[in-house]
Chains A and B, each alone.
Chain A
């Protein structure tokens, strides 16, 4: 007697498996839909909606007016200011974090864990409180100001300037740069560096040709993790930057609250999201090529 082929059984098992997967994922899916997809839909709908003369947003007469206003010089200036502050913060974070991550990942495992905990210690207290602490330090008779003046940086006063905002952003987001960099560098097979040294590469050449390219996924991940929240930052500029020069985050809030221009706030939000999305896509493209 020959064995009866049973493709049906295999199919059944696969279906059961996929059902289990669906059930496991359900709570998270519901959460994402309710708190992410729906609000996002509302924002997108708003961006095409009509603003009445009294400043109400009405979901009719769909139009692109809010997007056209993105081209206005005021809005452009705000966007570019946010962009360069985010870029500067990201580059400074990278410059500070890379040597640190490199140092940590070349320590003994026990030391490594200790140092990683140290990197994460700031997370133990509230972001808002820590940012306010900077305000105290940066005050005209604050510690930072006095030390900076002592060392010879002019009068040392930077509070309510872009410098203070960048300082706050770098301070706040540095761990987000260190951790992915650490993960990437730690994973590099050290024998590759030895291989390069054996093939006549100096220490610097081995770094440039082997360590740096192989740590790129970490560089990109860290850069996005710092760039994205810096670009849309609201709290840090509000506390350390004063309100004289708007950045995208506070400008969007202004549109919804004071200016009562929901569609413009929404279209600006969509633009910020698009920038972040492009950044993330670039990351995955790069990551896909390198790993």
Chain B
């Protein structure tokens, strides 16, 4: 099966799926770790599996690697059914959450392990090891043992050890999780650049939404073993389809609503909003709008083409680059984020205001 995606020049290119999961379920006794997962990951893509701890990300990755076998369903890599194939016979490599570097081998031996197992000859192996160590900027550390390296350096070695094999797919399980914030941000950029450079498909597991949004071509959001939404970071952020996804990725407001026909929802106060959704009439949904997509105006001064809700300003918190207003409307509170350039005419608590937003900045979510 081949997808069609559009490359930057606008021409349609046929690409194959690096990884395809169909109906994959994994049970551990009574626990359903992964629940009927369907997922296609495109060749050369940086794909992230994002979700809170315990949602089944690691288990999904392990099933691709062959470290775990699905209870049900099929795993294909480049169209080839993996079935019962052991991990050493799959064209993928993993960067483990704990790195899993061999403590009794030095950096070079760690990096060269995969090549050695595949019986690559010594000269070729040395060349590849040098390339990989260089790639992760660990030159000169080849003879250190993992115990003599910092967390960030271990992480690089783990990466080199996997990349040196030029796998068709690289699986990364929260590889930056153990690093401090600054190093993590630096490594995010480096990883992304590295992925472009080597052109290998990355399947990246993280619970950090910011990390997923900055690095990924596409994100799959998981929750309780289910894949809720697969989309580009922008689409995940701007057009979430479930309450969980909207809430997990950044801050948001939920306005309870009911579906009234294909193109309309009714808010709790009876306001009608032109928003399309696939849900049946009468379905309880929520309209979600990001705080920065809301604008605050003096009462009655909002433009007509936007959706408007009257309220009273409850509090304003100055954040330096932004101001967070909490606005109380009839049945709930809204959070609004304004750029702090407006600090000159800051509103104060008790002001009567109107909050407005463009209909296209709102999404209908369920769950």
Q: Taking beta carbons and an 8 Å cutoff, which residues of A are in contact with B? A: 189, 191-192, 194-203, 205, 209-210, 213-214, 290
Contacts and interface: CB of A to CB of B under 8 A. Distances in A.
A198 B104 contact: no
B98 to A, nearest CB: 6
B170 to A, nearest CB: 11
Contacts of A199: 88, 93, 113-114, 117, 161-162, 165
B87 interface: yes
Contacts of B100: 189, 191-192, 194-195
Contact of A197 (B87, B118, B162): B87
B90 to A, nearest CB: 8
Nearest to A202: B88
A108 to B, nearest CB: 12
Contact of A200 (B67, B88, B98, B102): B88
18 contacts: A189-B100, A192-B103, A194-B87, A194-B96, A194-B100, A195-B96, A195-B100, A195-B101, A196-B113, A197-B66, A197-B88, A198-B67, A198-B88, A198-B92, A199-B113, A199-B165, A200-B117, A202-B117
A287 to B, nearest CB: 12
B359 to A, nearest CB: 49
B117 A201 contact: yes
A200 B104 contact: no
Contacts, number: 60
Contacts of A205: 117
B288 interface: no
Interface in B164-201: 165
A223 to B, nearest CB: 19
Contact of A194 (B67, B104, B113, B161): B67
Given A191-B96, A192-B102, A213-B104, A197 B86 contact: yes
B355 interface: no
Interface in B46-74: 65-67
Question: Considering residues A196, A202, A205, which has the most beta carbons from chain B within 10 angstroms of its beta carbon?
Answer: A196
B165 A210 contact: no
Interface string B101-142: 111100000000110011000000000000000000000000
A192 B146 CA distance: 13
Contacts of A195: 94, 96, 100-102
A83 to B, nearest CB: 30
A202 B113 CA distance: 12
Question: Considering residues A192, A194, A198, A201, which has the most beta carbons from chain B within 10 angstroms of its beta carbon?
Answer: A198
B94 A198 contact: yes
Contacts of B104: 213-214, 290
B65 A198 contact: yes
8 interchain residue pairs of minimum CB distance: A195-B100, A199-B114, A200-B117, A191-B100, A197-B87, A200-B88, A198-B94, A201-B117
Contacts of A192: 100, 102-103
A177 to B, nearest CB: 22
Given A214-B103, A214-B104, A290-B104, A191 B98 contact: yes
A248 B185 CA distance: 67
Given A197-B86, A199-B161, A214-B103, 15 more contacts: A191-B100, A192-B102, A194-B67, A197-B66, A198-B88, A198-B92, A199-B113, A200-B117, A200-B118, A201-B113, A202-B117, A203-B86, A205-B117, A209-B102, A213-B104
A25 to B, nearest CB: 31
A265 B133 CA distance: 61
Contacts of A196: 102, 113, 117
A203 B67 CA distance: 12
A118 to B, nearest CB: 26
Nearest to A210: B102
Nearest to B100: A195
B7 to A, nearest CB: 32
Contacts of A198: 65, 67, 87-88, 92-94
Nearest to B65: A198
Nearest to B93: A198
Contacts of A203: 86
Question: Considering residues A191, A197, A202, A290, which has the most beta carbons from chain B within 10 angstroms of its beta carbon?
Answer: A197
Contacts of A197: 66-67, 86-88
B178 to A, nearest CB: 13
A196 B114 CA distance: 8
Contacts of A191: 96, 98, 100
A122 B101 CA distance: 39
B155 to A, nearest CB: 14
Contacts of A290: 104
A201 B88 contact: yes
A246 B91 CA distance: 62
Nearest to B97: A191
Contacts of A194: 67, 87, 94, 96, 100
Interface string B69-84: 0000000000000000
Question: Considering residues A192, A196, A200, A290, which has the most beta carbons from chain B within 10 angstroms of its beta carbon?
Answer: A200
B346 to A, nearest CB: 47
A201 B162 CA distance: 13
Contacts of B98: 189, 191
A189 B66 CA distance: 18
A179 to B, nearest CB: 22
A210 B109 CA distance: 12
Contacts of A209: 102, 113
A213 B104 CA distance: 8
A199 B171 CA distance: 12
Contacts of A202: 88, 117
A110 to B, nearest CB: 15
A92 B353 CA distance: 87
